[in-house]
Amino acid sequence: MIIEIENLHKEFGRHEALRGLSLSVPQGSAYALIGANGAGKTTTIKTLMNIIQPTRGVTRILGVDSRLLGVAQLQHIGYVSENQDMPSRLTVAQYLEYLRPFYPTWDLTLERSILDELQLPPDRRIGDLSHGMRMKMSLACALPFHPKLLVLDEPFSGLDPLVRDEFLERLLQQAGEMTIFISSHELSEIEGVTTHVGYIEQGALVFQESMAQLSDRFREVRLTLESPMAALGPIPEGWLHITSNGNVVSFFESRFSDSQLPAKVAALFRGVKNIDVQPVALRTIFTTLARASRGGN
């Protein structure tokens, strides 16, 4: 595992931001850490990157305790954050020139390609860049040395659609050669590259699994009944956000089984004329789970 987090706790005064979080990121994966605002995603990443210290628990990158990260490890880790600090007085070219000696694997040809593709002006001062251009600059600093691990903390926040597309296109070009650990609210943007998902609530892991497994077990189900639905009996475990409109009933099944669904439906409804089952996008999975955690079923 390229990232290992074990029983991680982080307290800010009386507020417990992380509550025994444990997860692992396989090498070569694109792992999306998802959860509502305040769930602990950024705190997890900052602890992982040794920006803040844990109250207790352990985080490891490349097999090394995050608190002991040194030059040998940092030469293989790229980091991009929406609030990343860069020297505002330096130009794009000057800052890249400053960074190159720290990374023996720095690829000057790749650097120039990134600057060209992202349309970053080498002579522009970093302090004069727009938010979108600053995020592009962060990526231009993180990719030229071919990192083994790229950590992305809300990289698309505040970006317009064109900049998001350019950012993602550049990222996809190198996705296969590195592990990606990303926290983002733009789930529709990252779904195509995501291989693994970790979902956290209130600082604790609810589940982690491959994107393929998550997609297989989540379905949107629409039932057409012969007459409007009567009062429901006990709802099967795993059914979320049940709604009805006349003789149509809709819900999300989070434990989908093609062989078991008809029996579950027959046990709860009479006069079922049709069962329509559709796959669910990652963004919809997230909003459904978030709604359920707030008591909205």
Domain residues for 38?
Answer: 3-214
Direct distance between the N- and C-terminal alpha carbons of the chain, in angstroms, rounded to an integer: 35
Residues 14 and 140 reside in one and the same domain: yes
Condensed to tens digits (0 to 9), the pLDDT of residues 7-29 reads 999 999 989 999 999 999 999 99
Number of domain units in the chain: 2
Residues 15 and 123 reside in one and the same domain: yes
What pLDDT score does 142 carry? 94
Condensed to tens digits (0 to 9), the pLDDT of residues 211-260 reads 999 999 999 999 999 888 766 667 888 999 988 888 899 999 999 999 99
Q: Is the pTM of this model over 0.85?
A: yes
Asked if residue 288 is part of any domain, the answer here is no
Condensed to tens digits (0 to 9), the pLDDT of residues 103-139 reads 999 999 999 999 998 889 999 999 999 988 998 999 9
Rounded CA-CA distance 271/252 in Å is: 20
Residues 106 and 180 reside in one and the same domain: yes
Residues 106 and 224 reside in one and the same domain: no
Residues 118 and 235 reside in one and the same domain: no
CA distances in angstroms from 169 to 154, 166, 261, listed in the order given:
16, 5, 39
159, 134 Cβ separation under 8 angstroms: no
Condensed to tens digits (0 to 9), the pLDDT of residues 185-212 reads 778 878 888 999 999 999 999 999 999 9
Rounded CA-CA distance 115/124 in Å is: 12
